[in-house]
Structure 1
Amino acid sequence: MKFLLRIVSVILLVFVLPTLVSAGLWATREHPSGWSSAKWGSSGLLPSAQDSPEAAIYVFSAMTGGLKGAIASHAWIVTKTKDGAYQRYDKVGWGAPIRRNHRAPDAFWYSNPPRLVVELKGPEAERLIPKVEAAIEAYPYGQPGGYRIYPGPNSNTFVAHVLRQVPDLGAVLPPDAVGRDYLGEGTFYALDSDGRDLHVSLGGLAGFSVGMRSGLEVNFLGLVAGVDLARPALKVPGFGAVGL
């Protein structure tokens, strides 16, 4: 009984309390009244393709809308070949399986500004773009209906899949990317293609990740707590990565 009480206490302290605090802070801020009143245009974060001719890869994340915006974000991928145009890829729950260029590459998401998860430019981006596009094509839930907001597969499941398949991008999604730890029906573990990060998950509801990019993470009901070793930070549910 004492052991069970300790587990419950840890869950309350590590996962529930920070989430409630984050939700309380979220409630004090102003938010769009609905989808139609939110900002969805360019944030101005990226230069025009004409002003930046070199090849580039970006992964963005932005907090989402509604009450889930207190703890959850939405991620997407942007590529640009040398002298080419930006190509944005999102997995969403409506329309085409994987939406392409349905918004500006650096657009607000439900009035929330995009956060840069990773950026690569020049020859390295040019080398990796075919691998990124192959990983996008191979995403196992890219068909119509291959979307479930919780625990996945959702937009973050899609981007996390690409990051695992192309580890040279050198990134993992932020802790508030709910759905990133969903590995698929009947899949309980995944090893990044370079073998440097291991992910274990019970249907996206509980598990852990450990490795060069992940650091040490424990996920519970989509919430993530842990330590980032490469970029020293604590991963706090509801708050994301808090730099040390």
Structure 2
Amino acid sequence: MMAIKWLTFCFALILLFLASYIKNSQAKVDSASNSWTTARRDSAGMSPDPVKMKHDAIIQIYAAPTYGWRGLVAVHPWIIFKRAGEAQFTRYEVVGWLGPNFVRRDYAVPDGYWFGKQPERFVDIRGSQAEGLIPKIEAAIKAYPYSNTYKAWPGPNSNTFMAHIGREVPGLKLDLPANAIGKDYRGLADPIGLSPSGRGVQLSVLGILGFTLGMEEGGEINLLGLNFGVDIKQPALRLPFIGRLGFDNSSVDEMQLQESSSKPVRPG
């Protein structure tokens, strides 16, 4: 009984904190609001120059707050990649207003602002490892089962798409944040399976109720699409609206980056 009281108290405390966070953040959103037609969509300067890095295979995954007030509670992710020898990136994502096939290729610039919101990089893999993963990513994109279905909540949506790629390509070690609403969406006929990173297990009923235990995710509980958990690998709290509160968890191989940046660029 005492344990239940403590859990209830902690849950209420978290909700109060999140309510305060939303209230303060909403003021910032309102003061900086722009029409979606004029919001920034140009490069954020976060991806490498594909021409200078022509001889390197590269995979990166980004996510940015969604447009408007929804950006306080959810993110929009996308993946970019290029093979060795290619001088431009290919970008894939799910865009909810562009059906009937919601999977879009090269909808925007590789590392662009998402309607005024700066993206965050979650995965950066280069070299031979990236080259080996790209065919698996392309196969996962083709096999996405909800390309003609979109629901902002609880899914399937853009985060469901990225979680599908993560499950199919565990080498990405993808860890979507707790506020990637839709990442836990699973059909009624498939409630148990791999976690979105492909490196754990998950039980989820339509992304509304369930739990996840994984190498990248740590432990996470999903209640009505709101995720609460603890990341052990990179110590942090996993919270709705915020994503994570703790150490950075971007999957970037610093050794690969150093090796790639130190390579002389051969003339094309």
Q: TM-score, normalised by structure 1?
A: 0.90
Change (3 A) 1:50 1:229: same
Change (3 A) 1:27 1:231: same
Residue 157 of structure 1 corresponds to 160
Q: Which amino acid aligns with 1:13?
A: L
Q: How does 1:15-54 map to 2 (within 5 A)?
A: 16-29=15-28, 30-53=31-54, 54=56
Other-structure match for 2:133: 128
* Aligned partners of 2:177 and 2:244 also within 8 Å: yes
Kindly indicate whether the alpha-carbon contact (under 8 Å) linking 1:166 and 1:193 is maintained by their aligned counterparts in 2: no
Asked whether the 8 Å contact 2:186–2:207 carries over to 1, the reply is: yes
Tell me: CA distance 1:232–1:2, structure 2 relative to 1, closer, same or farther (3 Å): closer
Whichever of the two has the greater Rg, that structure is 2
Match of residue 259 from structure 2:
none
SS of the residue aligned with 2:203? strand
Structure 1 spans left out of the alignment, 5+ residues: none
RMSD: 2.2
What residue is the counterpart of 1:115 in the other structure?
A: 120
Aligned counterparts of 2:108 and 2:119: Cα–Cα separation in 1: 12
**Aligned residue number for residue 12 of structure 1:** 12
Give the aligned residue type for 1:132.
I
Matched residue of 2:47: which SS? coil
C-alpha distance 192-207 of structure 1, shift in aligned 2 (>3 A) = closer
% identity of equivalent residues? 38
1:180 shift after superposition: 0.6
Quick one: which amino acid aligns to residue 228 of structure 1? D
Task: Kindly report which structure 2 residues correspond to 1:1-244, keeping only aligned pairs within 5 A, or say none.
Answer: 9=9, 11-14=11-14, 16-29=15-28, 30-53=31-54, 54-84=56-86, 85-95=88-98, 96-143=101-148, 146-191=149-194, 196-244=199-247
Secondary structure in structure 2 of the residue aligned to 1:28? helix
Contact 2:163 2:196 in 1 (8 A): no
| 1:31 to partner: Cα distance | 2.9
Distance 1:142 1:201 in 2: 20
Q: Distance in 2 between matches of 1:69 and 1:177?
A: 11
Equivalents in 2 of 1:93, 1:198: separation in Å? Answer: 28
- Give the distance between the partners of 1:163 and 1:21, measured in 2 at CA: 33
The Cα offsets for residues 91-115 of structure 1, whole Å up to 9 and x where unpaired, read as 1112242110010010101211110
Normalised by the length of structure 2, the TM-score is 0.83
Please state whether the residue corresponding to 1:99 is helix, strand or coil. Answer: strand
Following the alignment from structure 1 to structure 2, what is the Cα–Cα distance between the partners of residues 212 and 149? 27
CA distance in 2, matches of 1:221, 1:210: 18
CA distance in 1, matches of 2:154, 2:63: 18
Pick which of 25-34 and 207-216 moved more. Answer: 25-34
Residue 42 of structure 1 aligns with an amino acid whose one-letter code is: S
The alpha-carbon distance between structure 1 residues 4 and 233, as it changes in their structure 2 partners (threshold 3 A), is: closer
Greater displacement, 73-82 / 225-234: 225-234
Per the TM alignment, residue 69 of structure 1 is displaced from its structure 2 partner at its CA by 1.0
CA deviation vs aligned residue, 1:39-97 (integer Å, no higher than 9, x gap): 11111111221011210111101011121111111011111111212000011112242
Residues 1:110 and 1:198: Cα distance change in structure 2 (over 3 Å): same
Question: In structure 2, what residue type is equivalent to 1:19?
Answer: L
Larger deviation: 21-30 or 147-156? 21-30
Cα distance in 2 for partners of 1:206, 1:19 equals 20
- Deviating 4+ runs (over 4 angstroms): 1-11, 192-195
Say which SS state the counterpart of residue 36 (structure 1) adopts: coil
Q: Which has the higher contact order (CA 8 A, sep 6+)?
A: 1
C-alpha distance in 2 between matches for 1:94 and 1:155:
11
Q: How many residues align?
A: 241
The 1:205–1:12 alpha-carbon spacing in structure 2 relative to 1, beyond 3 Å, is farther
Structure 2: gaps of 5 or more residues? 248-268
Contact 1:62 1:73 (8 Å CA) reproduced: yes
Contact 1:70 1:238 in 2 (8 A): yes
Q: Which amino acid in the other structure matches residue 27 of structure 2? A: T
